[in-house]
Amino acid sequence: MNKAVMCFDVGGSFIKSAVYHGDNSLTEMGKVPMPAEDWPAFCQALQQLLNAAAPQLADDSPVAVSAAGVVDPRTDTILAGNIPAFRGRTVARELSVFLQRQVVIANDADCFTLAEASADAGDSPSILLGIILGSGVGGGLVINQQIISGAGGLTGEWGHGPITRTEFDYQGQTLHLPRLRCGCGQYGCLDTLGGARGLERLYLHLLGRSADSRTIIEQWQNHSADALKVVTLWSQLVSEVLAVVVNTLGPDRIVAGGGLASVPELMSLLDEELRSRILRPCHGPLITRARYQQQGGLVGAGRLARGLT
């Protein structure tokens, strides 16, 4: 049986930890605040979590990290705007020296997608596209159970495709949308309007008042005409950009994670809009909700490290 793997899911606010076992089970070990600006404190936090899990690990069990940001496996660097501690670091190499273990690191969306690709051994897709609809828009690509990281580690960043148009017809009205400046420096990226914050921006722009994404979804579920306008426009915006990705990559399936993906009716609407826009006929849902909504990063990190045990 393979050795257990120590797994970390590192975000801008917290570090989650777990032990991934050879039988594909996961023992969660808790989470601690992320010292996002302090590299030595970050290393010490991982060491303390590793020490707590030591009874479940072998002396040479590897460490696997699912990390926020752009992870470039060729340079061993991570570009994460909300984690300054990673700047200028060869992260896996330096952690390996500090922890005295083999360390493997991948982007959190890539780990999420790998977890989902391996979730059902009897129905494993050859090409799986993972989409994250959280505060923003991200994703990952797994082909034949292998993460495709791409040049510079940038595969899966479909949120930085531009929205396809800024005018939409809705019940006889022409709705005009702004091309907002994205955090990447470009204008009009789907990331500005496609995630939960984007849904809130659409609501403010179209209705002239503010509401959080949870309230907007609740209003839509309760058949509010105003919320229906916002969510309909959101589904068209997102599905049009996603259709380009599907027509280019030809995934067998799309798995959705993040806060917006936790709403089944919203994912059904998005799936319907998407299937109306792609070239290949689909007689059933193409978008499915993730099995590992909360643990995908940890599970994917553990599966990523299986080759090291």
CATH number for the domain spanning 183: value is 3.30.420.40
Q: Return contacts of 174-180, CB within 8 angstroms, 24+ apart.
A: 175/206, 175/229, 175/233, 177/202, 177/205, 177/233, 177/237, 178/205
Please check whether residues 281 and 142 belong to one and the same domain.
yes
**Strand partners for 128:** 142, 253
Q: Give the pLDDT score at 294.
A: 86
Split into its structural domains, the chain has a count of 2
**Does the pLDDT at position 22 exceed 90?**
no
Q: How far apart are CA 162 and CA 187, in angstroms?
A: 8
Q: Give the pLDDT score at 309.
A: 57
Please check whether residues 304 and 158 belong to one and the same domain.
no
Encoded tokens for 239: 């599905």
37: closest CA among 27, 47, 29, 45? Answer: 45
Q: How far apart are CA 125 and CA 140, in angstroms?
A: 14
Please check whether residues 171 and 51 belong to one and the same domain.
no
Helix, strand, coil content of the chain in percent (nearest 5): 40, 25, 35
Helix (H) or strand (E) run with residue 143 in it: strand 137-143
Summary mean pLDDT of the chain = 94
Encoded tokens for 235: 């589904």
Task: For the chain, give the percent of residues with pLDDT over 70.
Answer: 97
Q: Give the pLDDT score at 122.
A: 62
Task: For the chain, give the percent of residues with pLDDT over 90.
Answer: 89
What is the rounded average pLDDT of the residues 12-24?
Answer: 91
Please check whether residues 77 and 101 belong to one and the same domain.
yes
Residue 43 lies in domain: 5-114+294-308
What is the rounded average pLDDT of the residues 293-305?
Answer: 92
Please check whether residues 278 and 299 belong to one and the same domain.
no
Q: Give the pLDDT score at 1.
A: 44
Residue 265: count other Cβ atoms within 10 Å of its Cβ: 11
Least trusted range by pLDDT, from 65-79, 118-132, 250-264: 118-132
Half-sphere exposure of 196 (CA within 13 A, CB side): 17
Please check whether residues 219 and 129 belong to one and the same domain.
yes
Please check whether residues 103 and 14 belong to one and the same domain.
yes
**Does the pLDDT at position 81 exceed 90?**
no
Please check whether residues 304 and 271 belong to one and the same domain.
no
Report residue 119's pLDDT band, with 50, 70 and 90 as the boundaries: confident
Q: 151-177, pLDDT tens digit by residue?
A: 999 999 999 989 999 999 999 999 999
Please check whether residues 189 and 90 belong to one and the same domain.
no
Please check whether residues 238 and 253 belong to one and the same domain.
yes
Please check whether residues 281 and 174 belong to one and the same domain.
yes
Q: How far apart are CA 127 and CA 241, in angstroms?
A: 19
Please check whether residues 262 and 148 belong to one and the same domain.
yes
Q: Give the pLDDT score at 238.
A: 98
What is the rounded average pLDDT of the residues 193-206?
Answer: 97
Q: How far apart are CA 116 and CA 245, in angstroms?
A: 19
Q: How far apart are CA 7 and CA 238, in angstroms?
A: 32
**Predicted TM-score (pTM) of this structure:** 0.92
Report residue 121's pLDDT band, with 50, 70 and 90 as the boundaries: low
